[in-house]
Amino acid sequence: MKKVVVLGAGSWGTALALVLAKKGYQVHLWGRDKEKVEQIKLLKENVPYLPGVFLPDNIEATDDLEEALFDKKYIVLATPSSNIRGVCHKIKNMINKNNIIISAAKGIELETLKRMSELIEEELVEKSPNITIISGPSHAEEVGRGIPTAIVVGSKDKNAAEEVQDLFMSPEFRVYTNLDLIGIEYGSALKNVIALGTGIADGIGYGDNAKAALITRGLTEIARLGVSAGANPLTFAGLTGVGDLVVTCTSKYSRNRRAGIQIGKGVPLKHVLQQIGMVVEGVPATQVACQLGGKYRVPMPICEQIYAVLFKDKNVQEACYDLMMRDKKYEVEEILERSCSNS
């Protein structure tokens, strides 16, 4: 029997533990809050994060990190992206080269602008070189209830990616492989910024036209930035590009969209984050997006206006006006440039 540990007992970690448990694996679900872990053990349910979903006996919750990691080959990192470095630092001396690390966190470290795989490699590569990431349109609320979902696993190592693909693949959870880590991680992290924007548009009362424009042009910004950083442009047409962006910008489960709706209604950011009660990854991701745009000299007008609304108290209508009245553009500048150079 395969033995897996999921580090992070939030909604996403619990949902992934359920996917693995349904395949018959023995799964340890680690959380750092002893009281919440004891509640999971008692009720066989993660009430704060995934209410109404029964946890089978082959999911064992624990707050003991050493116990959780003992005799496990597969280590799933499912904490918020801001906690990943700290968790990696904690487990560094508890793992070995046979372990396969599976990052399920979506984000880019604000202080260093490192992607999760870069961060994990920096912390753990001497101990475990087998680093993979899973990403895609996958709300925990649906994954945990067995609703059909498709995701992507990425890695520098094709064999490691395929091993993780086999680990998770099931009739309810389809897994593709993609070796483009840059594209996967930029798409999965930066879509949260656009989801905030679509939420803001909903909150202020704009319609489907505005949402479609934000999603489409937001994808253009993300793809241009990713390609400038070395990503394959085709990745952004896939599950961690279009797929993740659409689900995060439109779903009732999206924390980023819900946060945006409240901001669009005029609720201060500080109060919105308190109301949501869970990490809203799009807020630090907005800062990251603007910094990366400057680093790679890629225009990021949507991200910049969202940044101004979040952190500079810019009026939402004014931000919309500034977006709509920018200089005229061709929709696909790259095609125009190639056409002109060939003529």
In which band, very low, low, confident or very high, does the pLDDT at 332 lie, cut at 50, 70 and 90? confident
Strand 100-103 relative to strand 130-135, pairing: parallel
CB 303 within 8 A of CB 214: no
Q: Give the active site residue among 72, 106, 191, 211.
A: 191
Residue that the structure tokens 């995701």 belong to: 151
The angle formed by the CA atoms of residues 194, 181 and 235, to the nearest 5 degrees, is 60
One-character DSSP codes across 85-137:
HHHHHHHGGG--TT-EEEE----B-TTT--BHHHHHHHHHTTT--EEEEEESS
How many CA atoms, within 13 angstroms, populate the side-chain half-sphere of residue 291? 12
pLDDT of residue 125: 76
Instruction: Give the Cα separation of 52 and 331 in Å (integer).
Output: 46
Q: What is the pLDDT of residues 241-287, one digit of tens each?
A: 999 999 999 999 999 999 999 999 999 999 999 988 888 999 999 99
In which band, very low, low, confident or very high, does the pLDDT at 338 lie, cut at 50, 70 and 90? low
pLDDT of residue 331: 84
CATH code for the domain defined by 182-338: 1.10.1040.10
**129, pLDDT greater than 90:** no
**127, pLDDT greater than 80:** no
Active site residue 191: yes
CB 31 within 8 A of CB 79: no
CA 35 to chain centre: 27
CB count within 10 Å of CB 142 equals 17
**66, pLDDT greater than 60:** yes
Count each helix (H run) and each strand (E run) in the chain, helices first: 16, 8
Angle (deg, nearest 10), helices 282-296 and 301-311? 130
Letter for the amino acid at 80? P
pLDDT of residue 341: 59
CA distances from 240 to 132, 144, 178, 265 (A): 15, 20, 10, 29
As a residue count, the chain comes to 343
Residue-averaged pLDDT of the chain: 94
Q: What is the pLDDT of residues 134-146, one digit of tens each?
A: 999 999 999 999 9
Considering only CA atoms, which of 135, 69, 68 is closest in space to residue 105?
Answer: 135
**DSSP designation for 23:** T
**340, pLDDT greater than 60:** no
User: Please, which residues bridge with residue 151 across strands?
Assistant: 175
pTM given for the model = 0.93
The angle formed by the CA atoms of residues 81, 156 and 89, to the nearest 5 degrees, is 40
Q: What is the pLDDT of residues 23-45, one digit of tens each?
A: 999 999 999 999 999 999 999 99
Strands (E), 36-99: 59-62, 74-77
Q: What is the pLDDT of residues 92-107, one digit of tens each?
A: 999 988 899 999 999 9
Percent of the chain with pLDDT over 70: 96
Q: 68-72 — which CB contacts under 8 Å span 24+ positions?
A: 68/5, 68/7, 68/28, 68/29, 68/30, 69/5, 69/28, 69/94, 69/95, 71/3, 72/3, 72/4, 72/5, 72/28, 72/99
CA distances from 120 to 42, 84, 143 (A): 33, 8, 25
pLDDT of residue 75: 97
CA 175 to chain centre: 16
**DSSP designation for 177:** E
Domain segments of the chain: what residues? 3-179, 182-338
In which band, very low, low, confident or very high, does the pLDDT at 330 lie, cut at 50, 70 and 90? confident
**339, pLDDT greater than 70:** no
Instruction: Tell which CATH classification among 3.40.50.720, 3.40.50.300, 1.10.3720.10, 3.40.50.620 matches the domain 3-179.
Output: 3.40.50.720
Mean pLDDT of 52-66: 96
